[in-house]
């Protein structure tokens, strides 16, 4: 069986998942989705992992979305179950406790952009294009695009992108706020790894709680969000990492956090 998810351990705290079907523009076949889910399941409980980077093989495509050649051979029920699997997979990525980065190395269309939107941060190569192109195929985004894109860039621009179904350049994606960093192609992974390194030097418990506070807080009122933030802050007070952070600050050295 081909390994369609290449896993690279960069450090104790940083991992890279690379979609590894460059001959098919890293499209989301059933087998790739099953392999990706297996990889995600294995890292769920990894308390030492502070950052996951997801990228694509090759220089042309991050992910072209659903595997349309495979899709054409499916009956109605198979299509429904596959679309649900894609949505569930992206939700699993979004729900990971540690921060995630999409390193968009090339075209990210349809489900490919939806995959990137499920990550916490996005770094995009200048040679990339992104778009939710589903309405041009007489369907709608089915992997969370109609919900995550408006939350990220606003309702009007999200509607424009989805209704027109036209890809936008990396520069436009950056200006819209789809990506947090725009870099030359050769700088993509160094930039993503630099962000991951900055993240990974911080307290693992604090990173997870901060992500939870942001994600859950945005779905509620400001008052409820502030209460949630306070409750999560209190969870950091009795950790060994908090004491280590204070001691390292006093001693003017880099802290050594253990996720405890």
Q: What is the pLDDT of residues 136-159, one digit of tens each?
A: 999 999 999 999 999 999 999 999
* pLDDT score at 12: 86
**Does any domain span residue 260?**
no
**Does any domain span residue 211?**
yes
* pLDDT score at 2: 59
Token reading at 74: 């499916």
Q: Tell me the C-alpha distance between 28 and 111, whole Å.
A: 8
Domain identity same for 79 and 46: yes
Q: Give catalytic status of residue 108 as yes or no.
A: no
**Does any domain span residue 213?**
yes
pTM, to two decimals: 0.93
Low-confidence stretches of the chain (pLDDT < 50) are 1
Q: Give catalytic status of residue 61 as yes or no.
A: no
Question: Where are the extended beta strands (E) located within the chain?
Answer: 5-9, 14-19, 51-56, 61-63, 100-104, 107-109, 121-125, 129-131, 168-169, 181-183
Domain count of the fold of the chain: 2
Domain identity same for 211 and 186: no
**Does any domain span residue 256?**
no
Placement of tokens 């930039």 in the chain: 191
- SS3 category, 114: helix
Q: Tell me the C-alpha distance between 232 and 156, whole Å.
A: 34
Residue 142: which of 91, 105, 72 has the closest Cα?
91
Domain identity same for 186 and 216: no
Domain that holds residue 49: 5-200
**Does any domain span residue 50?**
yes
Catalytic residue among 27, 64, 106, 114: 114
Residue 127: which of 176, 178, 175, 186 has the closest Cα?
186
Catalytic residue among 134, 145, 196, 206: 134
Could you write out the three-class secondary structure of 41-71?
HHHCCCCCCCEEEEEECCCCEEECCECHHHH
The CATH number for 113's domain is 3.90.226.10
Catalytic residue among 65, 111, 131, 142: 111
Q: Give catalytic status of residue 66 as yes or no.
A: yes
The answer to whether 26 and 20 have CB atoms below 8 angstroms apart is: yes
* pLDDT score at 1: 43
Domain identity same for 221 and 149: no
Q: What is the pLDDT of residues 214-231, one digit of tens each?
A: 999 988 999 999 999 999
Residue 100: which of 46, 58, 60 has the closest Cα?
46
Catalytic residue among 66, 107, 158, 170: 66
The answer to whether 149 and 173 have CB atoms below 8 angstroms apart is: no
* pLDDT score at 178: 98
Placement of tokens 């962000």 in the chain: 195
Residue 219: how many other CB atoms lie within 10 Å: 9
The mean predicted confidence, pLDDT, of the chain is 93
**Does any domain span residue 229?**
yes
């Amino acid at each position: 069986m081909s390994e369609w998810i290449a896993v690279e351990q960069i450090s104790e705290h940083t991992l890279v998942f690379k979609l590894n079907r460059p001959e098919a523009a890293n499209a989301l076949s059933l087998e790739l989705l099953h392999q990706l889910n297996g990889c995600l399941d294995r890292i769920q409980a990894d308390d030492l992992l502070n950052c996951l980077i997801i990228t694509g093989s090759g220089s042309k495509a991050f992910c072209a979305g659903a595997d349309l050649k495979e899709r054409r051979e499916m009956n109605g029920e198979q299509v429904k179950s596959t679309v649900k699997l894609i949505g569930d997979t992206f939700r699993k990525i979004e729900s990971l406790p540690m921060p995630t980065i999409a390193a968009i190395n090339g075209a990210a269309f349809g489900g490919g952009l939806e995959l990137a939107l499920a990550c916490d941060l996005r770094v995009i190569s200048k040679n990339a294009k992104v778009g939710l192109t589903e309405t041009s195929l007489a369907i709608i985004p089915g992997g969370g695009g109609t919900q995550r894109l408006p939350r990220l860039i606003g309702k009007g621009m999200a509607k424009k992108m989805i209704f027109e179904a036209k890809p936008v350049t990396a520069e436009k994606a950056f200006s819209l706020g789809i990506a947090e960093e725009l870099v030359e192609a050769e700088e993509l992974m160094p930039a993503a790894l630099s962000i991951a390194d900055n993240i990974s030097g911080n307290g693992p418990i604090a990173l997870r709680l901060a992500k939870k506070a942001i994600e859950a807080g945005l779905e509620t009122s400001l008052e409820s969000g502030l209460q949630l933030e306070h409750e999560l802050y209190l969870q950091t007070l009795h950790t060994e990492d908090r004491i280590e952070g204070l001691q390292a600050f006093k001693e003017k050295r880099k802290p050594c956090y253990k996720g405890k």
